[in-house]
């Protein structure tokens, strides 16, 4: 199940990978899903607080995404009646299964940023 590393994938494994990754992207793909999950991993959070944490997201989109995440069992929504009403979102245990994915993405993202920076530095040197 290795991705290259010199040896190409067989057609069969390739299709399998395509399907599995497709499944994954279907649920957690898109611009916001993973960001929201990360933001929620700071602890259970209320709506507006969450909106502040996830930079750039609008209330409508956040609301929709949260519903979706709830449907897919990544998030639970609890309402405490009173005034004001308090609505809290928190991650479920199932969302913990995403740890590897998140870790891999995070470390790749950090690595990639460094690479780009270095690449730009080199180009700057070459031009001067």
DSSP-based helix, strand, coil % in the chain, nearest 5: 60, 10, 25
1 binds a second copy (CB under 8 A): yes
Please choose, out of 31-39, 58-66, 77-85, 120-128, the segment that lies near a second copy by the rule CB under 8 A: 31-39
Nearer to a second copy, 78 or 108 (CB): 108
Distance CA 83, CA 85 (A): 5
Subset of residues 53 to 72 that bind a second copy, contact rule: CB under 8 A: 53-55
Q: How far apart are the first and last CA of the chain?
A: 45
Binds 85: which of DNA, a second copy, none (CB < 5-8 Å by kind)? DNA
């Amino acid at each position: 199940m290795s991705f290259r590393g010199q040896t190409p994938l067989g057609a069969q494994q390739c299709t399998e990978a395509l399907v599995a990754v497709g499944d994954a992207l279907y649920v957690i793909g898109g611009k916001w899903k993973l960001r929201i999950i990360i933001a929620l991993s700071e602890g259970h959070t209320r709506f507006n607080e969450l909106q502040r944490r996830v930079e750039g997201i609008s209330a409508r989109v956040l609301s929709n995404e949260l519903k979706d995440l709830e449907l897919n069992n990544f998030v639970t929504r609890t309402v405490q009646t009173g005034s004001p009403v308090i609505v809290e979102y928190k991650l479920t245990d199932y969302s913990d299964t995403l740890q590897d994915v998140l870790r891999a993405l995070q470390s790749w993202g950090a690595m990639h940023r460094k690479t780009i920076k270095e690449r730009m530095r080199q180009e700057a040197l070459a031009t001067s």
